[in-house]
Amino acid sequence: MSETTTYTVTGMTCGHCAASVTEEISELAGVEDVAVVVETGAVTVTSAAPLDPAAVQAAVEEAGYALA
């Protein structure tokens, strides 16, 4: 059964921002889907198993943004 978690990412302003965050999070093991809403900063991640919050934070930071 898939796990769905929503994170809030700060600093995103455009589609390119969303694409960067999506690309980094998608590289985490087990991630099945990433949906980003730039206007609210919401990033909904669907994964095969619960993700390590530190790994998600590192991926977001690698893209140049921060978790709220």
In sequence order, the 6+-apart residues with CB closer than 8 A to the CB of 25 are 31, 34, 43, 45, 56, 59, 60, 63
d(CA 31, CA 39): 23
Residue 15 is predicted with a pLDDT of: 96
Structure tokens at 45: 């991640």
- Tell if the pTM clears 0.85, that is, is over it: yes
In order of 3, 24, 44, the CA distances from 64 in angstroms are 25, 10, 18
Task: State the first-to-last Cα distance of the chain, in angstroms, to the nearest integer.
Answer: 27
Which CATH number characterizes residue 18's domain? 3.30.70.100
- Please report the pLDDT score of residue 1 as a whole number: 83
- Number of domains within the chain: 1
Which domain does 60 fall in, by range? 3-67
Q: What is the mean pLDDT of each run of 10 residues along the chain (68 residues)?
A: 96 96 98 97 97 97 97
